[in-house]
Amino acid sequence: MTAERRSTLEDVARLAGVSLGSASRALSMPEQVKPATLEKVRHAVSQLGYVRNGAAQALASRRTRTVATIYPTLSNPIFSVAIHELQQTLWKFGYQLLVASHEYKPEREIELLRTIVERGVDALVLVGTDHSSEVFELARQYALPYVMTWSIDGSHYPHCVGFSYYDAAFELASLVVKTGHKRIALCNGFEQTNERARARAAGTRAALKAAGLSLDAELVTEQPFNFEGGREAVRIFLSQPVPPTMLICGTDLQAIGAIDECRRRGIRVPEDLSITGFDDIEHAAIVVPPLTTVKVPTEQIGVLAAHRVVALLEGKAVQAAQPLETRVIVRESLAAPKPVQPGQEWHAAQTRSKTPVGSPST
């Protein structure tokens, strides 16, 4: 049995009544084609079921029109939103987006990158500034332009589209201090391979130091950036003889997990423990109580990263990226600590924390 012949670009051009060059431009650079021509070509593609031969196109042009991005995780809503904006913006320029994640295992990033490069991409969008030398060397060897996103801390690379986690954390912690808290705990991410976590911790410490306070070692824990990470932080800090009155979390996911653990243990937020997050995901405003957090430019990062990486690919001159703005969003999860005798309020709270999960709180 003879296989049915696949439609070619020449077939599309013939059916649409346009030149081969016009048909090619309509598929690869639709913004440069007249609307009437574009409609004819798209109609012909639909009728013929034509699919471009990507491998042949890449060999001919030495371009795949594909950009790859490697994210720490796809489970954090802020990353999902940024990837969506990155993809939508790249589409407008005629580029596709390839997405991978290493789930906060940086040692896997170079493995993912090698696989991606083997398949063929034109450029990279990376998250953060903390990457192994192998990542940068591979990008250099294959002449891959790259943009780093989210963080600008610890780097002078001109194509960093993001904000200062240090400054954002400093602003949040300064507000916490002004609220009256002195015994402050931090639930952070793993700092060793994450400059964003390190900058958050440094900004928090600096704000406390400026107020004559310190971030005690027993009040810092490194946890995964998820609900369970926040729950575990509450378990750790509530077991201490003198628990904190304030818990600063590295992400909203951790903070929401912490609020949930407090609810399960009968700990009132913010009366017994104030909690803050970071990111301002959609759930931050609807959790009970609504979460005080830092609003970050999630959508803007995706859009600007796409514009910058396309400009680099097309050889356009671009100025060094400027830091994006963040702001603290104050909601009900943050309040002044209650003026009680040392240990009294928390003695009652710790008693309630022993109530089995699912039992009525006292």
> For residue 51, what pLDDT band results from cuts at 50, 70 and 90?
low
Q: Is the pLDDT of residue 134 over 50?
A: yes
Q: Is the pLDDT of residue 332 over 50?
A: yes
pLDDT digits (tens, 9 = 90+) for 145-183: 999 999 999 889 999 999 999 999 999 999 999 999 999
User: For tokens 């407090």, what's the residue?
Assistant: 262
pLDDT digits (tens, 9 = 90+) for 224-234: 999 999 999 99
pLDDT digits (tens, 9 = 90+) for 220-277: 999 999 999 999 999 999 999 999 999 999 999 999 999 999 999 999 999 999 999 9
Q: What's the confidence (pLDDT) of residue 269?
A: 98
> For residue 337, what pLDDT band results from cuts at 50, 70 and 90?
very high
The residue among 198 and 358 whose pLDDT is bigger is 198
Residues 6+ positions from 155 with CB-CB distance below 8 Å: 129, 148
> For residue 351, what pLDDT band results from cuts at 50, 70 and 90?
very low
Mean pLDDT of the chain: 88
The residue among 335 and 20 whose pLDDT is bigger is 335
The residue among 26 and 319 whose pLDDT is bigger is 319
pLDDT digits (tens, 9 = 90+) for 111-128: 999 988 888 899 999 999
Query: Distances from the Cα of 213 to the Cαs of 78, 173, 206, in angstroms?
Result: 32, 11, 9
> For residue 4, what pLDDT band results from cuts at 50, 70 and 90?
low
> For residue 9, what pLDDT band results from cuts at 50, 70 and 90?
confident
What is the rounded CA–CA span in Å between residue 171 and residue 37? 54
- Quote the tokens at residue 182: 């002195």
Q: What's the confidence (pLDDT) of residue 241?
A: 92
Residues 6+ positions from 41 with CB-CB distance below 8 Å: 12, 13, 16, 18, 22, 23, 26, 27, 33
Domains in the chain (CATH in brackets) are: 9-52 (1.10.260.40), 62-164+298-325 (3.40.50.2300), 165-296+329-353 (3.40.50.2300)
Q: What's the confidence (pLDDT) of residue 336?
A: 96
What is the rounded CA–CA span in Å between residue 50 and residue 64? 18
Q: Is the pLDDT of residue 69 over 50?
A: yes
Pairing state between β 96-101 and 160-163: unpaired
Q: Is the pLDDT of residue 362 over 60?
A: no
What is the rounded CA–CA span in Å between residue 86 and residue 206? 34
10 Å Cβ neighbour count for 252?
27
- Output the pTM of the full model: 0.79
Q: Is the pLDDT of residue 349 over 60?
A: no
Q: What's the confidence (pLDDT) of residue 63?
A: 72
Query: Distances from the Cα of 88 to the Cαs of 225, 249, 303, 354, in angstroms?
Result: 26, 31, 8, 49
Q: What's the confidence (pLDDT) of residue 25?
A: 81
28-42, 54-68, 172-186: least confidently modelled range: 54-68
Peptide bond into 270 cis (omega under 30): yes
Q: What's the confidence (pLDDT) of residue 62?
A: 59
